[in-house]
Amino acid sequence: MANQLQLILGGARSGKSRTAEQRVADLGLKKIYLATATAGDGEMSERIKQHQADRDGHWQLLEEPLQLAQTLGQYSRADNCILVDCLTLWLSNCLHHNCWAEQQQALLDSIEQLPGAVVFVTNEVGQGIVPMGELTRQFVDEAGFLHQRLAAICDRVTIVIAGLPQELKGSMR
């Protein structure tokens, strides 16, 4: 299978991760789950545990909060699909560690050369009001710019609303 890139966007609890997991399963390739979340508190730890419990046992789990491009380059193969969940948590981690510009550019420079399929999951955060705080505005702006860049590169772009995937670009292969 040739490299296939998908971007799945949605709000919190929209069903985007479930949609992405089904897309990966439908490809019939080896399944790799690349988690970007870090458990900074008990509630986030519970969310992570719930995500893990919801997946079947046929996933290889990778955890990488910052160096996404490097990890994708290391694990991408023609016979696998990597699900990256989620880009907005990765963005938040990179902003916190002051490495966003370099990590974003590394991802954008490398993803079209990856030999395997990749499904990116991300939160659509730009449909609300303009945030009051500078850091929050930067986060929303950078997420929006990243989504635009990835949507231009990806073969398929889907937004999930209330568990219903809506195709924005591309379709099933």
Is 130 a domain residue? yes
Q: How many CB atoms lie within 10 A of CB 7?
A: 27
Judge whether 1 lies within some domain: no
Q: Would you say residue 68 has pLDDT above 70?
A: yes
- Evaluate whether 81 touches 117 at the Cβ level (below 8 Å): yes
Per-residue pLDDT band at 45 (split at 50, 70, 90): low
Closest residue by Cα to residue 138 from 84, 87, 100, 90: 100
pLDDT of residue 131: 80
Residue 167 has pLDDT above 70, yes or no: yes
Higher pLDDT, 140 or 39: 140
User: Does 27 fall in a domain?
Assistant: yes
Position 173 pLDDT exceeds 70: no
CA distances from 26 to 19, 20, 60 (A): 11, 10, 16
> Residue 38 carries which side chain, given as an amino acid letter?
T
Q: What is the pLDDT of residue 171?
A: 73
Range of the domain at 147: 6-169
**Residues 51, 96, 97, 147: which is the catalytic one?**
51
Mark whether 97 is an active-site residue. Answer: no
Beta bridge partners of 61: 33
51 has pLDDT over 80: no
Count of domains for the chain:
1
Check which CATH number belongs to the domain holding 34 and give it.
3.40.50.300
Q: Taking the CA atoms of 103, 108, 113 and 114 in sequence, report the sign of the dihedral they define.
A: positive
- β-pair partners for 120: 7, 84
Give the pLDDT score at 59: 93
Flag whether 57 is in a domain: yes
